[in-house]
Amino acid sequence: MIAVGESAPDFALRDQDGEEVALSSFRGRKVLLVFYPFDFSPVCSDQLSLYQEVKPEIEAKGVTLVGVSVDSPYAHKAFQAKLGIDTTLLSDFEPKGEVARAYGSYLEGPGMANRTLVLIDEDGKVGWTYESPNPGEFPGANVIFDALA
């Protein structure tokens, strides 16, 4: 897991619309990277749906929420539509899990990201992290709000 205080590794990934999004484009704003295993799994669906519900409160604290998984942009687009969410979802598809690896979130055996939260400050430094004890448990909104308090 990446350490608090480290510079967040920059990256450029395709979003659900196929547009390239670089971490550096968020410079000057806080961003919360939400690494999650896969689109359409029941736990991931619950996690992203819950975060969508509290997204206005997160944004009110000056934080942009961004999801990252190893799924393709096409899967992300369908996942967004199914859940009715507007959170940006980035595809860490190829090379598979490269960004998750850089942040210490990648699980080699199953080939996916663990449920990991990484808060990056306005200067591109890691301000806070959380890693679920296992991929079957997602961090509730209270974990995020405690970190933002």
Cα separation, 121 vs 125, in Å, equals 5
Separation of alpha carbons 69 and 118, rounded Å = 14
Q: Which two tokens stand for residue 43?
A: 């736990």
Look at residues 30, 14, 54, 72 and name the one whose alpha carbon lies nearest to residue 138.
54
Taking alpha carbons only, the member of 104, 107, 80 closest to residue 91 is: 80
Positions marked active-site: 44
Tokens of 25: 């484009």
